[in-house]
Chain A
Amino acid sequence: MSGAAVTIRRLERSFGGNAVLNGVDLDVAPGEFVSLIGASGVGKSTLLKIVAGLDEATAGILRVDAGTKRPEVRMMFQEDRLLPWRTVLGNVVLGTRGREADGAEILHAVGLGERGDDYPAVLSGGQRQRAALARALLHQPDLLLLDEPFGALDALTRAAMQELLSSLLRQSPRTVLLVTHDVDEALLLSDRVIVMRAGRIARSLALPGPRPRPRGDAELARLKEELIGSLLHDEGTADTDKPRRVKRELQPHT
């Protein structure tokens, strides 16, 4: 199976006393596509950055294992983060040497075959995200980390990008960890959906059948309700803290 295996044990990360990740346990099998959902600020991006090596955990174990070789891990951010002073192709081959031909091929695969010599400034938002995806894919990563990659796109472009991603993954499978706010996207693309709550993994829901799944399936609709339910429950628990604190603060005045 192609792709890296990820093992996370009791992972913690705090920012100056504020514990954001609070003992995360997660196993991702090689080639598995796992989606991560959860309320805003729950620590999804933080987790992804630690896995990408852009941030250090305060405690815990993280292992990314791609067999005998050093695992290639690439991250795609919510913003395209293309370098405005490099052409699209120059961006795609960033950090490599002599891979212009491969870069052009991948650009072709994401539908930007003709745009390699343009600067990012003249591309549309969706085209820029496709260029960013091409850049992430050029490295043939064993583990692909996607942090709300399509969040800023309109519904139509997003659907097209989801198609594109799943067809590219069909051609060359790899392990993917996707953070998304879009439950439909998670259900469509992944093998498993993980719900994060209070800096932990609260639920892990394996999805039936091969991906991508048909949109509008009855079983999926039920799962969606269930996931949204657990997300709402999350906000409920988050809110219970606040009134208590407010009450304490108000006491001297009453």
Chain B
Amino acid sequence: MTDAVDKTAPARIVEQQERVPGLLRSVGWHLLPWLLPFVLLVLWHWSAVSGHLNRSVLPGPLDVVDVAISLIERGQLQHHLIVSLRRVAVGFGLGAVTGLALGIVVGLSTTARQFADLTIQMVRTVPHLALVPLMIFWFGIGEEPRVLLVALGVVFSVYINTVSGIRSVDPKLVEMGRSYGLTKPQLIWSIILPGALQQILTGIRYALGVAWLTLVVAETIASREGLGFLVQDARELLRLDVIVLVILIYAAAGWLADLLTRSIEARLLSWHPSYSSRAARS
């Protein structure tokens, strides 16, 4: 067990934060993440205008902006965007509430776990997107199949993380709660749910991604409205600029959703040392 120690290796240098003057450094720090996207955008634009980029392969950023403006003027973009957002919101809400409720019941009750967990785990192994044809067969091309698919995609990741979050709450804290005379509801509200919260939020964040993905697939198939329809329609009309626009909207929406959940996380877990540099409440 005596690995040769590399005597020539330099002594580990303790990293120190540089003390660049406050404001400048802080502005620079916050702009840093935007540097790479900005460079890529400039490169893209440059390739488009300089002719390096064949516009029938990929339109330039300005083309995308143009088509966005014209779609907005005709009221189409807003319409499809709102339809899609509504589907995601309803489907996600439905799935998250169901997954949370199921997860809490199964996480808290050994009997419920014994009864339901196996079934849920089996159903979970079916890729929910495989149900698209079945859903369309059952519900036609209305709202229901899309919303239900999104809900299905969401429900399991919320369920699994809720159950495992609850199961991993420190039993010593629960024992402490009992010895301090907490009633069962108090125990759940003050100890078990806060203890499971971090993992529940992880599940929710992951589920948001799944919700978007599901929506894209569900809307691309047999739909008359929504961003997915817009893409599908554009493909038939060979409108690459519309396709790129919608892809960018998907990206922005996903990013915004992630930002939102992160800020909710930071708020709810402000006591957690790894979520705030200052654990003290101000």
B279 at the interface (CB under 8 A from A): yes
Q: Mark A162-202, 1 if CB is under 8 A from B, else 0.
A: 00000000000000000000000000000000000000000
Asked if residues A117 and B180 are in contact (CB atoms below 8 Å), the reply is: no
B62 at the interface (CB under 8 A from A): no
Which of the residues A85, A94, A121 comes within 8 Å of B182, measured between beta carbons?
A94
Given the complex, which residues of A lie within 8 Å of B182, measured CB to CB?
Answer: 94-95
Given the complex, which residues of A lie within 8 Å of B186, measured CB to CB?
Answer: 95
Closest-CB distance, B252 to chain A (whole angstroms) = 33
Most buried by A among B181, B190, B191, B271: B271
Q: A84-B272, A95-B181 are known contacts. Are A121 and B279 too (CB-CB below 8 A)?
A: yes
Asked if residues B271 and A121 are in contact (CB atoms below 8 Å), the reply is: yes
Which of the residues B176, B180, B271 comes within 8 Å of A85, measured between beta carbons?
B271
Given the complex, which residues of B lie within 8 Å of A85, measured CB to CB?
Answer: 194-195, 197, 269, 271-272
A79 at the interface (CB under 8 A from B): yes
Closest-CB distance, A42 to chain B (whole angstroms) = 21
Closest Cβ neighbor of A78 among chain B residues: B172
Describe B's contact surface by its main secondary structure.
Answer: helix
Given the complex, which residues of B lie within 8 Å of A83, measured CB to CB?
Answer: 173, 190-191, 194
Asked if residues A135 and B180 are in contact (CB atoms below 8 Å), the reply is: yes
Distance between Cα atoms of A74 and B180 in the complex (Å):
7
A108 at the interface (CB under 8 A from B): no
Asked if residues B173 and A121 are in contact (CB atoms below 8 Å), the reply is: no
Q: Mark A86-127, 1 if CB is under 8 A from B, else 0.
A: 110000001100000000000000000000011101100000
Asked if residues A53 and B281 are in contact (CB atoms below 8 Å), the reply is: no
Which of the residues A74, A81, A87 comes within 8 Å of B173, measured between beta carbons?
A81
Distance between Cα atoms of A122 and B272 in the complex (Å):
10
A54 at the interface (CB under 8 A from B): yes
Asked if residues A87 and B178 are in contact (CB atoms below 8 Å), the reply is: no
Number of A-B contacts (CB under 8 A): 59
Q: Mark B173-194, 1 if CB is under 8 A from A, else 0.
A: 1011111111000100011001
The size of the chain B interface, using a CB distance under 8 A, is: 23
Asked if residues A118 and B279 are in contact (CB atoms below 8 Å), the reply is: yes
Distance between Cα atoms of A85 and B182 in the complex (Å):
16
Q: Mark B240-282, 1 if CB is under 8 A from A, else 0.
A: 0000000000000000000000000000010111000001110
A33 at the interface (CB under 8 A from B): no
A47 at the interface (CB under 8 A from B): no
A150 at the interface (CB under 8 A from B): no
Closest-CB distance, A153 to chain B (whole angstroms) = 18
Q: Mark B183-218, 1 if CB is under 8 A from A, else 0.
A: 000100011001101000000000000000000000
What are 24 A-B contacts defined by CB distance under 8 Å? Answer: A52-B179, A53-B179, A54-B175, A54-B178, A54-B179, A79-B172, A81-B175, A83-B190, A83-B194, A85-B197, A86-B271, A87-B271, A87-B281, A94-B180, A94-B182, A95-B181, A95-B182, A95-B186, A95-B190, A117-B281, A119-B271, A119-B279, A119-B280, A122-B280
Q: Name B residues whose Cβ lies closer than 8 Å to a Cβ of A.
A: 172-173, 175-182, 186, 190-191, 194-195, 197, 269, 271-273, 279-281
Q: Name A residues whose Cβ lies closer than 8 Å to a Cβ of B.
A: 52-54, 73-75, 77, 79, 81, 83-87, 94-95, 117-119, 121-122, 135, 139
